[in-house]
Amino acid sequence: MPEGHTLRKLADDLAAAFAGRAVRVTSPQGRFAADAEQVDGSRLVGAESAGKHLFVELEGERYVHVHLGLIGRFDVHVLDAGEEVPAPVGAVRLRLVTVAGPGEAGDPRPRAYADLRGAILCDLVGPAKREQVLARLGPDPLRADADPDLAWRRISRSPRAIGDLLMDQKVLAGVGNVYRAEVLFRHRIHPLRPGNTLRVGQWQAMWADLVELMAEGVRTGRIDTVRPEHTPEAMGREPRRDDHGGEVYVYRRTSMPCLVCTSTVRTSVLVGRNVFWCPQCQPKFRSRAVRSPSKGPGAAGGARP
């Protein structure tokens, strides 16, 4: 399932291509046709993400609420000069197309279109429904209005495993399996450790790390979590080859040697999802994480594992 950085990048791309412009809104597949008709020709105000949710705002305080689920895609295409919008391919639930090209109200941007396929949710909602959705979510490390203390209050009072809590969107919004595995490794915390055994400093370090790592994911379009000394170039190793891309410490590296200590990376199932950890770097139910003054991408938060 796409993690929060993917939704934030999508919101940014939609805003860059469509914000302030009138758009044709259609549903070639038909499932969103009635709602599309209500907003067809409206001006698109902007787009925002909250965790794994996306809201595309149209004039009149109307929002297209999207959740991609496991296989959904929302592809944004910018057209070359003279290029026509192609016919829809596949089950396109929602299509956005700019009404006019360069010159519309002095707008120099080229025409663009975006196609939504495979989403588990695509609804037209008002501001009250949007607020209800946002109220159900925990803080999102990518949002300026996020309150990490809200997540800490829930974590510090819960006996549930921290690996479970980090994936609970009511506790923390936008973190998926990759960021969960990697931030726990970077802070030497075992995924099965009860949330109420963590110290506030450990949580603050993890939050700061997530803010930086996920922002980097927005910039690069992939998840990279290894520190400079553990990159393929620094270690003289082959780059990771995986459909998910990015250089990571433990995610989907079961039975492979840890990049830090060479112990064998392990996995188990936690609440229906695989969790990954290094038994040496992440001893069970205790942590050696400390606050670090280090700055720069990939170095925020706890001690180097």
pLDDT, residue 147, reads 98
Q: CA–CA separation, 42 vs 39, rounded Å?
A: 5
* Digit-coded pLDDT (tens) for 151-185: 999 999 999 999 999 999 999 999 999 999 999 99
Weakest mean pLDDT among 45-59, 99-113, 201-215: 99-113
Confidence (pTM):
0.88
Q: Which of 3, 48, 57, 212 does the annotation list as catalytic?
A: 3
Known catalytic membership, residue 52: yes
Strands (E), 188-244: none
Fold assignment, 4-136: N-terminal domain of MutM-like DNA repair proteins (3.20.190)
Sequence spans of domains, the chain = 4-136, 148-277
* Digit-coded pLDDT (tens) for 263-303: 999 999 999 999 999 999 999 865 444 333 333 333 333 32
Q: Which of 273, 279, 283, 304 does the annotation list as catalytic?
A: 273
Q: CA–CA separation, 87 vs 272, rounded Å?
A: 39
pLDDT band, very low/low/confident/very high, at 102 (cuts 50, 70, 90): low
Known catalytic membership, residue 108: no
Number of Cβ atoms within 10 Å of the Cβ of 226? 21
- Would you say residue 190 has pLDDT above 50? yes
* Digit-coded pLDDT (tens) for 234-252: 999 999 988 777 999 999 9
Q: CA–CA separation, 219 vs 203, rounded Å?
A: 24
Known catalytic membership, residue 93: no
* pLDDT > 90: percent of the chain: 87
pLDDT, residue 231, reads 95
DSSP state for residue 258 in the 8-state scheme: P
Known catalytic membership, residue 127: no
Number of Cβ atoms within 10 Å of the Cβ of 148? 19
Q: Which of 8, 9, 52, 193 does the annotation list as catalytic?
A: 52
Q: In what order do the strands lie in the sheet with 62-67?
A: 73-78, 112-117, 92-98, 21-26, 43-50, 53-58, 62-67, 121-125
Region 148-277: CATH code: 1.10.8.50
Long-range contacts of 218-224 (CB under 8 A, 24+ apart): 218/5, 218/8, 218/9, 218/12, 218/142, 221/9, 222/246, 223/3, 223/5, 223/178, 223/179, 223/182, 223/248, 224/248, 224/298
Q: Angle CA(5)–CA(7)–CA(11) in degrees, nearest 5?
A: 115
pLDDT, residue 295, reads 32
